[in-house]
Amino acid sequence: MSEGRILVVEDDFDISNMLQLYFKSLGYDVHVASRGGDALDLTRQKMPNVIVLDIMLPDIDGYEVCRQLRTNLRTSHIPILFLTQKDERSDKIRGLELGADDYITKPFDVEELRLRVRNTIKRAEIESLTSPTTGLPSGRLIEQQLRQLLRREDWGILYLGINGLEAFNEVYGFVAGEEVLRFAGMLLSDVVETLGAPEDFIGHIGGDDFIVITKQGLLAPMKEDLVRRFDESVGTHYDFMTRMQGYLVIKDDEGNDTHVPLMSLQVGMLTASDGPFTDIREVTEAMAETRRRARR
CATH code, domain carrying 33: 3.40.50.2300
Secondary structure, 3-state, 145-196: HHHHHCCCCCEEEEEEEEECHHHHHHHHCHHHHHHHHHHHHHHHHHHHHHHC
By C-alpha distance, which of 161, 147, 131 is closest to 230? Answer: 161
Based on the fold, state whether residues 242 and 97 are members of the same structural domain. Answer: no
Based on the fold, state whether residues 220 and 284 are members of the same structural domain. Answer: yes
Whether the full predicted model's pTM is greater than 0.75, yes or no, is no
What is the per-residue pLDDT for 296?
Answer: 54
By C-alpha distance, which of 67, 65, 53, 73 is closest to 9? Answer: 53
Mean pLDDT of the chain: 89
Query: How many domains is the chain partitioned into structurally?
Result: 2
What is the per-residue pLDDT for 128?
Answer: 66
What is the per-residue pLDDT for 20?
Answer: 95
Based on the fold, state whether residues 155 and 70 are members of the same structural domain. Answer: no
Based on the fold, state whether residues 114 and 146 are members of the same structural domain. Answer: no
What is the per-residue pLDDT for 269?
Answer: 95
Based on the fold, state whether residues 80 and 186 are members of the same structural domain. Answer: no
Based on the fold, state whether residues 226 and 148 are members of the same structural domain. Answer: yes
Does residue 134 lie within any of the structural domains? Answer: no
What is the per-residue pLDDT for 199?
Answer: 85
Q: Which residues of the chain have pLDDT under 50?
A: none
What is the per-residue pLDDT for 127?
Answer: 73
- Residue-wise pLDDT for 181-232, tens only, equals 999 999 999 999 899 988 899 999 999 999 999 999 999 999 999 999 999 9
What is the per-residue pLDDT for 89?
Answer: 66
What is the per-residue pLDDT for 46?
Answer: 85
Based on the fold, state whether residues 119 and 160 are members of the same structural domain. Answer: no
Based on the fold, state whether residues 152 and 86 are members of the same structural domain. Answer: no
- Residue-wise pLDDT for 5-30, tens only, equals 999 999 999 999 999 999 999 999 99
Q: Which of 126, 152, 183 is the last residue of a domain?
A: 126
Could you tell me the residue range of the domain that residue 88 belongs to?
A: 5-126
Does residue 143 lie within any of the structural domains? Answer: yes
